[in-house]
Amino acid sequence: DLLVVGSANADLVIGVERRPAAGETVLGSDLAVHPGGKGANQAVAAARLGARTALLARVGDDAHGRLLLDAQRAAGVDTTGVLVGGAPTGVALITVDPSGDNSIVVSPGANARLTPEDVRAAAGLVAASRVVSAQLEVPLETVAEAVRHLAPGSRFVLNPSPPRPLPQELLEACDPLIVNEHEAKVILGGAEAGGTPEDWARALLARGPRSVVVTLGAEGALVASAEGLARVPSVKVDAVDTTGAGDAFAAALAWRLGAGADLAEAAAYAARVGAAAVTKPGAQESYPTAQEVERLCCA
């Protein structure tokens, strides 16, 4: 039902007293290795909620790739579209200091080798999906190719992260384009990046997507389409770790849209999923089941 096209990374995390300056060596905590990457996160988030989910991605023929595949399978994701080999698995090297500030180096590795040809070879998987959800940690032309294989009537959802200018063909396919504040500003650029979230939503909608969602962290979100603008309230929770909240939000939204919900309903559900995700540390490890989302709403 839902196909996620995107990245899979191993997140290698070391806690440090102080992040090192140029030429400096510091000692840190034991290494923690977590499955991550926006595509892999989205697929796990959707599957954990109960969505029938497949992932189209590329990992290396290495231990990190196996960790990622195991995490997908444990969540119930269909991994027949996960290609193996061609480069080492993508890695994010993360140092975190006691205040929670981090420094991150990403090696895209196999993610950069997910090609338009790979998408053409998986055209059946794309065409069989009611919703395709993508991000930009894989090449832009790979994402654009996925759009070309959508079945009539199916829906394309894009979180343009990390943000960059988008070709018109891709913008016009988005229903919705999902951005946080930073992504909205980069995509709008220049003068239009000023103003309120409502202003960004209207300006983004004018660029061509069929709908837009602006996520606002603890403030919830904003949805915009031809039918107008609406605020989506956030759910009050004690935030422990916001890592991967945006990925959970996007996955939940895509799944609900595919199940026939309208944009405002789907975003309200996604906001509950995002809120649940921030109540636990980590990304994939923090994603709720549908029952946990229900309990959150009624607490």
Size of the site for ligand ADP (CB under 6 A): 19
Q: Is the dihedral of CA 227, 181, 215, 10 positive or negative?
A: positive
| CA separation for the pair 50, 185 (Å, rounded) | 33
| CA separation for the pair 170, 154 (Å, rounded) | 15
Closer Cβ to ligand ADP, 45 or 126, answer by number: 45
String marking each residue 160-189 x if it binds ligand ADP according to CB under 6 A: --------------------x---------
Closer Cβ to ligand ADP, 133 or 215, answer by number: 215
Amino acid at 161: S
Q: Which of residues 128-167 bind ligand ADP (CB under 6 A)?
A: none
Among 67, 93, 218, 261, binds ligand ADP (CB under 6 A): 218
The secondary structure of 141-193, three-state, reads HHHHHHHHCCCCCCEEEEECCCCCCCCHHHHHHEEEEEECHHHHHHHHCHHHH
Closer Cβ to ligand ADP, 65 or 209, answer by number: 209
Does residue 264 touch ligand ADP according to CB under 6 A?
no
The token pair that represents 271 in the structure block: 């906001």
Tell me how far, at minimum, the Cβ of 238 lies from ligand ADP, in Å. Answer: 9
Catalytic residues: 247
Does residue 271 touch ligand ADP according to CB under 6 A?
yes
| CA separation for the pair 166, 183 (Å, rounded) | 12
The token pair that represents 288 in the structure block: 């709720």
Closer Cβ to ligand ADP, 150 or 250, answer by number: 250
| CA separation for the pair 22, 183 (Å, rounded) | 29
| CA separation for the pair 128, 134 (Å, rounded) | 16
Closer Cβ to ligand ADP, 83 or 254, answer by number: 254
Does residue 217 touch ligand ADP according to CB under 6 A?
yes
Give 4's strand partners.
55, 133
Does residue 278 touch ligand ADP according to CB under 6 A?
yes
Does residue 215 touch ligand ADP according to CB under 6 A?
yes
String marking each residue 219-248 x if it binds ligand ADP according to CB under 6 A: -xx------------xx-x-x--x--xx--
Does residue 104 touch ligand ADP according to CB under 6 A?
no
Does residue 36 touch ligand ADP according to CB under 6 A?
no
Stretch that binds ligand ADP, among 20-28, 132-140, 190-198, 210-218 (CB under 6 A): 210-218
Q: Which residues contact 265 (CB under 8 A, 6 or more apart)?
A: 256
Closest among 157, 167, 20, 33 to 89, alpha carbons compared = 33
Residues of this chain that bind ligand ADP (CB under 6 A): 180, 215-218, 220-221, 234-235, 237, 239, 242, 245-246, 249, 271, 274-275, 278
